[in-house]
Amino acid sequence: MAKTHDIRKWILIVGGIPVSGFAEGDAFSLEFDEDDWNLTVGADGEDARSYIPSGAGTLTINLMATSLSNDALNAARLLDELTGQAQFPVLLKNANGTEGWSAARAWVQRPANVSVGRDVGSREWIVRSGRWVPAPGNGGQPL
């Protein structure tokens, strides 16, 4: 029996607000700043590895220009600009599987770029956190 991918089964909640109105292509992506391990090789060839307890990374959210979620992300950015205290929690979870990530303190890195044309445009939001915490699984999906 084939497993099913359905973007509508992914949950993205930013600052307590469900995000919707994703643009075509990748709806969102999470990229980490550092590797988990660093390898050091000495002059005589002996090697050792060091664990890097980071977890910092960037969540890129791609929304249609017409999505109301643009307003929520921009409001969070403006509040942070004014107060420096508008960090928020983020939850990213596949309701059909085990994959998910969360951050207790995240922020909007910069305003979304704007382009306007014949078709509905998109807005790319950059959300940063110093610590993304994984769910127990990483992509497993029951039938």
Could you report the per-residue pLDDT of 24-53, keeping only the tens digit for each?
A: 999 999 999 999 999 999 999 999 999 998
Give residue limits of the domains in the chain.
7-134
Measured CA angle at 109 (ends 106, 95), to 5 deg: 45
DSSP string, 56-105: -EEEEEEEETT-THHHHHHHHHHHHHHHS---EEEEEEETTSSBEEEEEE
Predicted confidence band at 143 (pLDDT cuts at 50, 70, 90)? low
- For the segment 67-107, what is each residue's pLDDT rounded down to a tens digit? 999 999 999 999 999 999 989 999 999 988 888 999 999 99
Query: What is residue 90's predicted lDDT score, i.e. its pLDDT?
Result: 97
pLDDT for position 80: 94
**pLDDT on residue 60:** 97
